[in-house]
Amino acid sequence: MVSGIFLSCDKNNFGYRGQNMRHISPLKIEIFKRGLVQADVAQDAGISESRLSRILNGRVQPFDYEIKNLAHALGIPKEDIRV
C-alpha cells in the first residue's frame, strides 16, 4: 500500500486530498505550479529552508528583502509575491 499526501486543485480550492481543506499561500501555489522544490527556491532566494517553510505556512511574515529575493528567484515582480 502506498501512502502519501497529494495536492489537488480545482477552480475553487487548492489543498491536500484526503484531509480537511485549509488555506495555502499563493506563494506556495506558485512554487507548486512551477514544479519547483522549496529547498531550491530557498537556496536561490538566500534564505533557509525552515524560514521559507514558516513564511509559506503563515507562521511569520517575510521581510522586504526576502520578498525581493523570492521574487527574483521565481522571476516575477516583487509586487506579485503574496503570502
Q: What CATH number is given to the structural domain containing 54?
A: 1.10.260.40
Residue 34 forms part of a structural domain = yes
Q: How many domains does the chain have?
A: 1
Concatenating the DSSP letter of every residue in 6-26 gives -EEE-SS-EEETTS------H
Query: In the structure grid, which three cell numbers stand for residue 4, read together?
Result: 502519501
Is residue 75 included in any domain, yes or no?
Answer: yes
pLDDT in tens, 33-43: 999 999 999 99
Task: Sort 25 into a burial class: Cβ within 10 Å, 0-12 / 13-18 / 19+.
Answer: middle
Q: What is the pLDDT of residues 48-80, one digit of tens each?
A: 999 999 999 999 999 999 999 999 999 999 998
* Residue at 8 is within a domain: no
Predicted TM-score (pTM) of this structure? 0.71
